[in-house]
Structure 1
Amino acid sequence: MNLSRGLFAGYLRTNVRTLENWEQGRAKPNAQAALLIRLVQRYPDTVRRLAEI
């Protein structure tokens, strides 16, 4: 997937700092965010569909 952190964080309804903390292992996403991340990894078109909501 070719998305900026800012755009992806926006789709997850979180901020870039939180996303960076998840990436660096300083924090863990909540269950809902973790599920959404897994969906996007498995089905990249999920991001496009979310943008349409």
Structure 2
Amino acid sequence: MRQLRILPSEQGIQILAIAFTAYAGEINAKQVFSAKFYSYLGKLIKPANLIAE
């Protein structure tokens, strides 16, 4: 993700990537956002909830 985020913005690249993680604590959230992901979800999420979020 970091490599994709450093591309010049004039290329029109906007990727809303969501990290799937088995850990959903505050420290893990900071790691996900520092890696430039848009959001994160725990791996035990149901498909219907994925669409809703």
- What TM-score results when the alignment is normalised by the length of structure 1? 0.26
Structure number with the bigger relative contact order (C-alpha 8 A, sep ≥ 6) is: 2
Higher helix share: 1
